[in-house]
Amino acid sequence: MPRVAQYQAVQFKGFDSGLNKQVDSSRLELNELPEALNIRLGKRGEVILRSGYSRYDSTLTTDSSFIFPWREFGGDDHLIVVDLAGAVWKDDLDGVFANSGFNVGAINTLASFGVGMASADKKAYISSKKIPNVTAYVGFAWTAVAAIPKGKALHHRHDRLFSIGTDANPSRLFFSDFLDPEVFQPASFIDFDPDDGFEINASTVFGDDLILFKDNAIWKLSGRTPASFATYRIDNLRGCVAPRGIAQLRGQLMFMDRDTGIWAFDGASLELISQPINDYILANQNYDLGWQASMYAGDDRLYVSIPWFDGSRHSFVYFADTGAWSEYDTGFAGSAFYLKERYLGLVGAAGVYQADPLSTVVPPSGTPLEAKFRTPWVRVGGPGIKARIRRVEMLIRASVSVTVTLNMYRDYDEETVYIARTFQGGPIPYAATSFDERVIALDGFGDRLHAIQFEFVTSDAPFALNEMAIFYTGGLDVRGER
């Protein structure tokens, strides 16, 4: 009596490990993805189309070279950005930018730019190595404050204003008198290893401490008064060259080290969180423009924008709940940076954009988002055995009809689509009503194969994919087939 192969199944029960670029996709776990573009990952590992963007500002010019977003400041009640001509624009978080009438000089001569809020006098201070004086901003008036050192970064901490990294002393931190941010004594400064050949690049207040980053060193300043100030070198191997390449998420300080990856610091130890994508970003980033990397932490995610070797920027998203990564396409023709939860772009951006849960397009062209992901390679049957795929099932959750393309690759060929199936939302194969879950079933894939990989592509409407199941038969007799 002939042996008959039994139906077998491989089930993807979620993709909670997210994007993994470290190993060949044939060696990934079933919950890892070799490609994950424009998708969010839920707590159960479900794949969800990310939201698009809508235009935020209503008054800034749409000139293709109007903005230099890296030079930005987010206060409690306003944003300040500097355009390519050096003009300073102010926004009261109402979507309307107004030219403040102050100019810091053309960006190509602006070697540094820092801002800080001082609660003592309710002023915002703007600093640069290239302007005559630090300037205080109150309402719509600017006042020069010659006593404040012109540092590349300003911070307000424990009722003192700190200015960091001047032209003459790039490794020096200056601090003001208590409750008087506009008074700096001649001896009120601390040097951080000025003979190591590197300047302070980035800094932030973290808990009670001030954290300072050099190229290959991380320093901490603790204490509330000059008498209690103490400096500690946290690390002498890692650092950060990007002033905007730091953010805080869930009580941890995240930073981009150009040479080793993306790290999390909890106040005591360092953890590399970019391990799954580390080889990918280290091999493809533009090292000369590493200072332009930027981060934003929000909605329990870390957004990282990295200059790429081809002149573009690649954005990656870290999901704090699962530790998974995804890659986002900003849609900008040129570079893009994070300004709080908003995107600003360089040439071609034509405006300031913000994430919009009701949008499914990317700026500035309004092109629909294309989301895609690939499963790992799945070995069907066993060594030397080919199998026929009989059925694929997926659960789709959508508020409107969804157009889905499913590409199947076979036998470790990741370039040639073996079979493609496109499903148009509506009565065939299903009518997706509001928040309805439906099953997509594919039957009869034909020729037998050794390994299979699926690519899921949509550019239509929000969706969520929870599970995939592959049913197949082995390589023995099945109704006379061989």
What strand order describes the sheet that includes 270-272?
A: 246-249, 252-257, 261-265, 270-272
* Higher local confidence (pLDDT), 60 or 249: 249
Output the pLDDT for position 208.
Answer: 93
Checking if the pLDDT of 280 tops 50, the result is: yes
Q: Average of pLDDT values for 98-119?
A: 60
Looking at 336-470, list the stretches that DSSP marks H as alpha helix, in order from N- to C-terminal side. none
* Rounded-to-integer distance, Cα 166 and Cα 173, Å: 9
Cis peptide before 357 (omega within 30 of 0): no
Going by C-alpha positions, the residue among 226, 243, 124, 125 that lies closest to residue 173 is 226
CA distances to 18, 35, 46, 470 from 42, rounded to whole Å, are: 10, 16, 5, 22
Task: Convert the pLDDT of each residue in 445-461 to its tens digit.
Answer: 667 888 889 998 887 67
Task: Convert the pLDDT of each residue in 3-15 to its tens digit.
Answer: 555 678 888 888 9
Checking if the pLDDT of 434 tops 60, the result is: no
Contact 469, 397 (CB under 8 A): no
What strand order describes the sheet that includes 79-82?
A: 68-74, 79-82, 87-91, 97-103
Checking if the pLDDT of 108 tops 60, the result is: no
What is the H or E stretch that residue 420 is in? strand 419-423
* Higher local confidence (pLDDT), 127 or 17: 17
Output the pLDDT for position 435.
Answer: 46
Percentage helix, strand, coil for the chain under 3-state DSSP, each rounded to 5 = 5, 45, 50
Checking if the pLDDT of 347 tops 50, the result is: no
Residues above pLDDT 70, as percent of the chain: 73
Checking if the pLDDT of 277 tops 50, the result is: yes
What dihedral do alpha carbons 10, 15, 18, 19 form, nearest 10°? 30
Output the pLDDT for position 398.
Answer: 66
Q: How confident is the model at residue 289 (pLDDT cuts 50, 70, 90)?
A: confident
**Considering only 264-273, 336-345, 357-366, 469-478, which range has the smallest mean pLDDT?**
336-345
* Rounded-to-integer distance, Cα 184 and Cα 163, Å: 10
In 236-358 the beta strands, taken as DSSP E runs, fall at 246-249, 252-257, 261-265, 270-272, 294-298, 301-307, 313-319, 324-328, 336-339, 342-345, 352-356
Checking if the pLDDT of 236 tops 60, the result is: yes
pTM of the model: 0.88
What is the H or E stretch that residue 240 is in? none
Exposed e or buried b per residue across 205-244, where buried means at least 16 C-beta atoms within 10 angstroms of its C-beta: ebeebbbbbbbbbbbbbeeeeeeeeebeebbeebbbbbbb
Please name each of the domains of the chain with its CATH number. Answer: 7-50+372-473 (2.60.120.260), 52-248+338-365 (2.40.128.630)
CA distances to 23, 372, 401 from 321, rounded to whole Å, are: 23, 22, 29
Output the pLDDT for position 390.
Answer: 76
Checking if the pLDDT of 239 tops 50, the result is: yes
